Chain A
Amino acid sequence: MKRIRIARCGTQLLAPPSPRRPLCPHVVRFQKTITLHNYRIQSRLQSTAAAREASNFEIESIVEEVESSANDFPSSTWTSPRHTPLELLPSPHPSAALKSAKLAALRSRLSLPPRFPLQTLARTLIHPSADPDPTFNNGSLSILGANLLGYYTTEHILCNYPRLPMSVVFAAQWAYIGPKALATVASEWGIEAAAEPGGEIDPGLLQFKRLRSGDDLPTLLKGKQAPWKWNVTMTNKILKSDEFGSTASRPDAQQLQGMPVPIEEAAQSFVRALIGSLYLHLGRPLTKRFFRDHFLSRHLDMDKLFDFRTPTRDLSRLCAREGFEAPVARLISETGRHSNHPVFIVGVYSGKDKLGEGAGSSLNEARIRAAAAALKAWYLYKPLEVTVPSSTEGEVDTSKWKPNMVDCGEVIV
Chain B
Amino acid sequence: MPLSAIKTVSKAQNGVGAFILPLRRLDLHYCDWAGSSRGMNAYLRNHLSRFASSNPQIEIRVSPKPHRHPVIIGHYINSRRRAICVKNLQVEGVREKVEYLRNHTGEKNRKIGWDKVRSLNESVRGVWSPFHGARIRI
Contact status A298-B3, CB under 8 Å: no
56-114 of chain B: CB within 8 A of chain A: 56-61, 77
User: Measured between alpha carbons, how far is A306 from B8 in the docked complex, in Å?
Assistant: 11
Give A282-308 as 1s and 0s: 1 = Cβ < 8 Å from B's Cβ atoms.
000000001011101111100011111
Which stretch in A35-43, A49-57, A166-174, A387-395 binds the other chain? A166-174
Contact status A165-B3, CB under 8 Å: yes
Contact among A167, A185, A297, A411 with B13 in the assembled complex (CB-CB below 8 Å):
A297
139-167 of chain A: CB within 8 A of chain B: 165, 167
Cβ of A45 to closest chain B Cβ, rounded Å: 29
Majority-rule SS of B interface residues: loop
A83 on interface, CB distance cutoff 8 Å = no
Contact status A105-B59, CB under 8 Å: yes
User: Measured between alpha carbons, how far is A110 from B57 in the docked complex, in Å?
Assistant: 8
Contact status A174-B17, CB under 8 Å: no
Give B40-64 as 1s and 0s: 1 = Cβ < 8 Å from A's Cβ atoms.
0000000000000000111111000
Asked, given contacts A181-B9, A299-B11, whether A188 binds B3 with beta carbons under 8 Å apart, the answer is no
A: contact size bracket: 35 or more
Q: Which residues of chain B come closer than 8 Å to A165, judged between CB atoms?
A: 3, 5
Contact status A178-B9, CB under 8 Å: yes
Contact status A188-B77, CB under 8 Å: yes
Cβ of B79 to closest chain A Cβ, rounded Å: 8
Residue of A nearest to B1 (CB): A309
Contact status A105-B20, CB under 8 Å: no
Contact status A411-B59, CB under 8 Å: no
Residue of A nearest to B11 (CB): A299
Contact status B6-A304, CB under 8 Å: yes
Contact status A105-B57, CB under 8 Å: yes
Cβ of A263 to closest chain B Cβ, rounded Å: 13
Most A C-beta atoms less than 10 A away, residue of B5, B6, B8, B12: B5
Contact status B10-A167, CB under 8 Å: no
A341 on interface, CB distance cutoff 8 Å = no
B130 on interface, CB distance cutoff 8 Å = yes
Give A387-413 as 1s and 0s: 1 = Cβ < 8 Å from B's Cβ atoms.
000000000000000000000001111
Contact among A168, A181, A187, A204 with B5 in the assembled complex (CB-CB below 8 Å):
A168
Cβ of B10 to closest chain A Cβ, rounded Å: 4
Contact among B5, B16, B59, B77 with A297 in the assembled complex (CB-CB below 8 Å):
B16
Q: Which residues of chain B come closer than 8 Å to A412, judged between CB atoms?
A: 2
Contact among A102, A188, A204, A335 with B12 in the assembled complex (CB-CB below 8 Å):
A188
B18 on interface, CB distance cutoff 8 Å = yes
Contact among B9, B24, B129, B131 with A180 in the assembled complex (CB-CB below 8 Å):
B9
A195 on interface, CB distance cutoff 8 Å = no
User: Measured between alpha carbons, how far is A204 from B25 in the docked complex, in Å?
Assistant: 13
User: Measured between alpha carbons, how far is A413 from B3 in the docked complex, in Å?
Assistant: 10
327-371 of chain A: CB within 8 A of chain B: 332-333, 335, 345, 359
Cβ of B16 to closest chain A Cβ, rounded Å: 5
A306-B5, A310-B2, A412-B2 known; 16 other A-B pairs, CB under 8 Å?
Answer: A101-B61, A104-B56, A105-B56, A109-B20, A167-B3, A171-B6, A171-B8, A184-B9, A187-B77, A189-B20, A297-B16, A299-B120, A306-B3, A307-B6, A309-B4, A411-B2
| Contact sample, A vs B, 9 pairs, CB 8 Å cutoff | A104-B56, A105-B58, A108-B57, A109-B24, A174-B9, A181-B9, A299-B11, A305-B8, A308-B3
Binding site for A on B (CB under 8 A): 1-14, 16-18, 20-21, 24-25, 56-61, 77, 120, 129-131
Please give me the 5 A-B residue pairs with the lowest Cβ-Cβ distance, nearest first. A297-B17, A171-B5, A293-B17, A298-B10, A108-B56
